[in-house]
Structure formats: C-alpha cells, structure tokens
Amino acid sequence: MIKEIKHYLTITFSYWAFTITDGAIRMLVVLYFHQLGYSPLEIALLFLFYEFFGIVTNLVGGWLGSRIGLNLTMHIGMALQIVALLALTVPTEWLSVAYVMAAQALSGIAKDLNKMSAKASVKLMLPSSENTNESEKRLFKWVAILTGSKNTLKGAGYFIGGFLLATAGFKSALWILASGLFITLAITLVMLPNHIGKTKAKTKFTQLFSRSREINWLSAARFFLFGSRDVWFVIALPVYLSASLGWPHSQTGAFLALWIIGYGFVQGSAPAFFRKHPVSGNTAIIWTFALSIVPALIAAGLIYELPAQWLLMGGLALYAIVFALNSAIHSFLILNYSDHDKVSTNVGFYYMANAGGRLTGTVLSGWAYQQYDLVGCLVIACVFVLSAGIFSLPLSAHSSSPQKG
C-alpha cells in the first residue's frame, strides 16, 4: 500500500508540473498572438494540430503504453513538451502560423501522452480489495484528486502564463517553463519503476478501438461534453474579455486561472459530494442535461444586455461547479468500465474522443466568435451539451460496474 501511494504521489507531482506548463503555454500563445494582431480564427488555427495530434496520440498512446510501460510514455511526453516550449523561443519573424502550429502539434502529443499515462496508472496502482463498493469509492477518490488537482494547477498555469508574459516577456517565459519541466523529468526518471502499465500479453494494433458498448457511448458523450466547453472558453472568452471588456492580459489570465483553480477544487471534492449516492451511468445523464441550462442562461443574459462583466463572472462560477462534477463522473466511469488488461487502450480511446471534441470546439470557437460573437459560441455550446446528454442515455441500462471491455 505504501509503495502504491508513493508511486501515485510521484505521478501526481509529474502531472502537476506538466499541467502548469500546458496551461501557461496556452495563455502565452493566445494573448501574445492576439497582441501581434492575429484574428480569433487565426489564433484558433494555431491550436488545430495541438488538438488533432491529441486524437492520434490518445489512440496510439494507449497501445504504446501497454507495450513499453506507462511510465515511459509519460517521460516521452514530458521531453516532447520541453522541445515544444523551446521551439517557440526562435526570433519573432520565424513565428508564422505554420511554424507555431507545428510546435503546438508537439505540445499536443506531449500533453496527451502525459495525461493518458497518468490517469491509466491510477487504475493499475489501486490496492486490491474484495469489497467492490469500497474499491469503487477508492478509485473515484484517487482519480478525482488527480484530475481535480491537475485542473487547479492548469489554472495556476494560466495565471503564470499571463504573469510571465507581462513581466518577463514571451521568450523568457518559455525558457523558465522548460527549465522547470526538465528538473521534474529528471526526478521522475529516478523515482518511478519501469514496469507500470506494461502488459504481459502484447496488445495488437487492431485492438485499439473499444469493443465495449458502454465505453463507446461514454466516449461519444465525452466528445460533445468537452467540445461544448472549448467552443466558448478557449478562444472566444479570453478574446472577448480583452477586446470587448478591455481587460489587460494580466487580468484576463488571472480570471481564467481562478476559474480553473475553482473548477479543480470542485472536481477534487466530487467524491464527498456523491458519497451518499453511487456514481453510475444515470448520474452522468442527470448532470449532463443540468449543464446545458448554464450556457443557455448566459447567452440569454447577453442578448438582453445584462451587465456582461457580472453576468460572465456569475455564469462562469455556476458553470465551473456543474462542469467539474460532470468531468469527475466521466473520469471515474472510464476507469471503472475498464479492466486492468485493457485500461491503457480504453483510456487512450476515450481521450481520443476527448481530443476530437476539443479540436472541434477550438476551431468552432474562433469561427463562431468571428461570425456571431460570444452569444453564438454559447448557443453552439448548449447544443453540444444536449448532444452529450443524448449519447449518455444508453448508459442508464448499466450499473456503476458494467461488463468490462
């Protein structure tokens, strides 16, 4: 038990450090290239390969992790992120759209290798128990803490990115982030064993796509759930805060950072929130449909010209709570629906759908904001959440521990 907790803490520390750089580089790129005069759609395109290669990485990464070990795929991800950060330190005239897209592609591969490895490892490190209900509660707690703390640190990364851009400048900020991640990589190389996630039976490439009905439905719901968030949060919201409300970069970065930090705290507290009711497919359905109400209310408030600043602050606070609970439910269900031999491939398949939703949401965020302003982005977000709820409906036929796949 002590050994498992030690490895869990090491992986969590690594995930934290990586996540700070991931949030920071996102805020640096959005604000810096907006400052250079890029349009919202052009900024969205900078992240096109970031999300696209996340789709490919999650699919192949699960298979790779089962063959070479999840610790190694995690370390590869950290090394690629260091390269991606340093790639953006070139002279400004080199930073064309194509070049930045390529650098972001490396960052996307790195992020999803790291995330897939960390989350799949939680299932494998969980101490065995004869009590199924107790095991499920412990799994929910462990994955909620990992995911919630990750999002809290991603929020800190948003703040750090905005702060470093304002104080140190774009290039110096990238060097600081790369140095910190290199130190973390060196520490985890020493502290983690080499066998985590490596299966005895070699997974065939043809087994990458899930054959489990509930995992397929959950993955489809995940696509629309995270697409609904990114369609208004990733590009449209920070540009709206800067361009329409006149917020400086440091204020925009700080606000989004606080939002994600709060989101992470709620996500990490989800097991306590659901302690009296076992989490199941029905839980996912109820909370997904509840989420659809929030962007609809914010859009209605903007249409009727309520004070935009207070409307967004209140609406985002409510959205953070409901979305965080949805995300915690999903993160638990994908691990609970997977057995040990297929956890890395199932998690990889599931986060492939997640990356697909993020890609779709990111591109739509830039296009819809340019065409229809923030209200248009919120309407699309509402449609996406309703779609996620519809795809979750088949999960109601299953308990919290359906047939493994």
Give me the long-range contacts of 97-100 (CB less than 8 A, separation at least 24).
Answer: 97/42, 97/45, 97/46, 100/29, 100/33, 100/46
The number of folded domains in the chain is 1
Residue 52 lies in a domain: yes
Please give the pLDDT value at position 211: 62
199's torsion region: left (phi>0), alpha (psi -120 to 50) or beta? beta
CA dihedral 332, 257, 23, 52 (to 10 degrees): 70
Residue 402 lies in a domain: no
CB 271 within 8 A of CB 75: no
What is the C-alpha separation between 33 and 30, in angstroms, rounded?
Answer: 6
What is the C-alpha separation between 152 and 259, in angstroms, rounded?
Answer: 9
* 3-class secondary structure per residue, 291-308: HCHHHHHHHHHHHCCCCH
Residue 172 lies in a domain: yes
- Alpha carbon 332 to its chain centroid, in Å, reads 14
pLDDT at 306 over 80: yes
Sign of CA dihedral 145, 258, 370, 379: positive
Phi, psi of 217 (to 5 degrees): -65, -45
Domain range for 338 is: 2-397
Question: What share of the chain has pLDDT > 90, as a percent?
Answer: 21
- Alpha carbon 391 to its chain centroid, in Å, reads 20
CB 190 within 8 A of CB 183: no
Digit-coded pLDDT (tens) for 174-201: 999 999 999 989 888 887 766 665 555 4
Residue 339 lies in a domain: yes
- CATH, residue 298: 1.20.1250.20
CA distances from 128 to 2, 333, 341 (A): 13, 18, 15
Q: Among all chains, which residue has been given the structure tokens 């995270």?
A: 226
The residue among 314, 284, 283, 282 whose CA lies nearest residue 298 is: 314
Digit-coded pLDDT (tens) for 200-233: 545 554 555 556 788 889 999 999 999 999 998 8
What's the pTM value of the predicted model, to 2 decimals?
0.73
What is the C-alpha separation between 334 and 349, in angstroms, rounded?
Answer: 10
Instruction: Enumerate residues 6+ apart whose C-beta is below 8 A from 351.
Output: 54, 58, 112, 115, 116, 119
Please give the pLDDT value at position 84: 92
CB 284 within 8 A of CB 253: no
pLDDT at 387 over 90: yes
What is the C-alpha separation between 244 and 240, in angstroms, rounded?
Answer: 5
201 DSSP 8-state letter: S
pLDDT at 71 over 60: yes
What is the C-alpha separation between 342 and 203, in angstroms, rounded?
Answer: 9
Residue 152 lies in a domain: yes
Residue 403 lies in a domain: no
**Would you place residue 128 in the very low, low, confident or very high pLDDT band (cuts 50, 70, 90)?**
low
Instruction: Enumerate residues 6+ apart whose C-beta is below 8 A from 150.
Output: 15, 16, 19, 118, 264
Report helix angle 343-392 to 236-243, nearest 10. Answer: 70
Residue 137 lies in a domain: yes
Q: Enter the tokens of residue 256.
A: 């989004």
Least confident of 30-34, 249-253, 328-332, 374-378: 249-253
Residue 250 lies in a domain: yes
